[in-house]
């Protein structure tokens, strides 16, 4: 028997960064995001021998261990080992070996929530294998705990819930890790138009988001009014974009994205840089009305809203920077598990 799962990556459309504590605890956060047809996959194959094999197939990394109730967290495939350690601690596992293999359709550090989505997918494979009675909110919060508490990884809360629920969601974040996911019922023609006009561009760089998020956290802790006001404006941006999308006012989309891009620069240093600024301005000159950096910033993916028939002109201009435009569709569903 092989136990499989997949969970979708996401595009953050508005409100990015307001899901990070302590801002979300003190002021409340709000984010609008949508899952896309890029996925994180996990497979668990039980073995006869008492050996644990973990593999990140996309990164060509592999570790072998004699069976043990806990695997060492040492900087090598820690996401995979962290999930195993927590699952064994909380639910137990058969004292037999297994092969855990994963694959992600986008590079780590690219700003599409790859790490958190991968954790959700791995948990999903174990849930399928053990038939664990965990609901959608349970799995998303469990993934958050493993990353933020067990593995001490810096970051927010949106990615785990996007991967779990799928679709277009307006999410609210409060103190005590309270999260409310509001699925949005968007008319199909609005989504088709958004999909047609929204260009997803990989800058061919990845970044370590931790230092950017750590500075953002410090700015809130230190009561940096400029940074906090930027986050307040980004929260308002999420509300504005939700309303525009529900009403089909897509002509406002680029303007709202551009507003958020200006605000996000104020949250922390290194969110933008000279290369990102150059790409952004070139895309606007080619016809885009706005865009954003996906995730914490500093590199990875960017998105641009290209109204009318400007899509192809913007794509042609972006290709001159050596990156890659990625095709995608929006997805309706989150984590999916099955066995064969």
Domain count, the chain: 2
Q: Are 120 and 139 in contact (CB under 8 A)?
A: yes
Average the pLDDT over 30-43 and give the result.
98
Give the Cα separation of 161 and 1 in Å (integer): 28
Q: 174 with 220, same domain?
A: no
Q: Which of 159, 251, 258, 316 is catalytic?
A: 159
109 has pLDDT over 90: no
Question: What's the CA gap between 175 and 235, in Å, rounded?
Answer: 16
> Across the strands, what pairs with 337?
5
Whether 175 and 216 map to the same domain: the answer is no
CATH of the domain at 175: 3.30.230.10
22 & 163 share domain: yes
The whole-number pLDDT of residue 157 equals 94
pLDDT recorded at residue 36: 98
Distance, in Å, from the CA atom of 316 to the CA atom of 129, rounded to the nearest integer, reads: 46
Q: Do 115 and 133 sit in the same domain of this protein?
A: yes
Q: What is the pLDDT of residues 112-151, one digit of tens each?
A: 999 999 999 999 999 999 999 999 999 999 999 999 999 9
Backbone angles phi, psi at 127, to 5 degrees: -60, -40
Q: Give me the pLDDT at residue 296, please.
A: 57
Query: Strand 98-104 and strand 51-56: pairing?
Result: parallel
Note down the domain range covering 274.
188-325
Q: Mean of the pLDDT values across residues 157-182?
A: 96
* 233 backbone dihedrals φ, ψ, rounded to 5°: -70, -35
Q: Do both 134 and 251 map to the same domain?
A: no
Same-domain pairing of 174 and 194: no
* Same domain membership, residue 44 and residue 193: no
Strand pairing class (198-202; 301-305): antiparallel
Active site residue 105: no
| Alpha helix segments (H runs only) across 149-291 | 158-165, 188-197, 210-221, 225-247, 253-264, 274-286
Of residues 16 and 183, the one with the higher pLDDT is 183
Tokens of 140: 């998303």
- Same-domain status, 23 and 87: yes
**Residues 6+ positions from 117 with CB-CB distance below 8 Å:** 7, 8, 9, 10, 39, 40, 104, 159, 160, 162, 163
Between CA 77 and CA 54 the distance in angstroms is: 8
Cβ contacts of 287 within 8 Å, gap of 6 or more: 306, 307, 308, 310, 313, 314
Q: For the chain, what percentages of helix, strand and coil (3-state, to nearest 5) are there? A: 40, 25, 35
Weakest mean pLDDT among 168-182, 261-275, 317-331: 261-275
pLDDT tens digits, 177-212: 999 999 999 999 999 999 999 999 998 766 555 666
Structure token pair of residue 20: 């990070």
Same domain for 288 and 209: yes
Q: Does the structure show a pLDDT above 90 at 263?
A: no
| One domain for residues 148 and 207 | no
CATH number for the domain spanning 293: value is 3.30.70.890
Whether 130 and 213 map to the same domain: the answer is: no
Q: How far apart are CA 313 and CA 324, in angstroms?
A: 14
Question: What mean pLDDT comes out for the span 76-82?
Answer: 97
Residue 317 and residue 201 share a domain: yes
Longest CA–CA span in the chain (Å) reads 61
Q: Which helix (H) or strand (E) element contains residue 20?
A: none
Angstrom distance (rounded) from CA 79 to CA 314: 37
d(CA 313, CA 299): 22
- pLDDT higher than threshold 60 for residue 240: yes
Is the N-terminal amide bond of 37 cis, ω within 30° of 0?
no
Res 153 pLDDT > 70: yes
287-319 pLDDT tens trace:
999 999 887 556 789 999 999 999 999 999 999
For the cut 90, the answer to whether the pLDDT of residue 284 exceeds it is yes
C-alpha 333/C-alpha 318 separation (Å) is 30
**Pairwise CA distance, residues 206 & 143, whole Å:** 23
């Amino acid at each position: 028997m092989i136990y499989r799962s997949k969970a979708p990556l996401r595009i953050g459309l508005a409100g990015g960064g307001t899901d990070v504590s302590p801002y979300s605890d003190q002021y409340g956060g709000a984010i609008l995001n949508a899952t896309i047809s890029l996925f994180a996959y996990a497979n668990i194959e039980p073995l006869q021998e008492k050996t644990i094999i973990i593999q990140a197939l996309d990164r060509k990394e592999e570790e072998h261990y004699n069976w043990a109730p806990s695997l060492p967290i040492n900087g090598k495939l820690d996401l995979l080992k962290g999930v195993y350690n927590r699952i064994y601690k909380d639910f137990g596992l058969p004292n037999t070996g297994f092969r855990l293999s994963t694959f992600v359709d986008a590079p780590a550090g690219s700003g599409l929530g790859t790490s958190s989505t991968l954790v959700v997918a791995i948990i999903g494979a174990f849930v399928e294998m053990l038939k664990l009675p965990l609901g959608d909110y349970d799995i998303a919060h469990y993934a958050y705990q493993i990353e933020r508490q067990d593995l001490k990884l810096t970051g927010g809360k949106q990615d785990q819930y996007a991967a779990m629920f799928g679709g277009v969601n307006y999410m609210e974040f409060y103190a005590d890790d309270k999260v409310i996911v509001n699925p949005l019922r968007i008319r199909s023609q609005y989504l088709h138009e958004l999909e047609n006009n929204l260009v997803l561009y990989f800058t061919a760089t990845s970044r370590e988001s931790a230092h950017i998020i750590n500075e953002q956290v410090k700015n809130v802790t230190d009561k940096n009014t400029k940074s906090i006001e930027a986050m307040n404006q980004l929260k308002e941006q999420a509300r504005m974009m939700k309303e525009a999308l529900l009403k089909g006012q897509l002509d406002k989309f680029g303007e709202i994205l551009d507003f958020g891009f200006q605000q996000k620069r104020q949250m922390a240093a290194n969110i933008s840089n000279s290369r990102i600024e150059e790409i952004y301005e070139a895309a606007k000159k080619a016809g885009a009305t706005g865009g954003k950096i996906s995730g914490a910033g500093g590199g990875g993916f960017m998105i641009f809203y290209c109204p009318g028939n400007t899509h192809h002109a913007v794509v042609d201009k972006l290709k001159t920077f050596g990156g890659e435009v990625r095709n995608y569709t929006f997805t309706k569903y989150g984590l999916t598990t099955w066995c064969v």
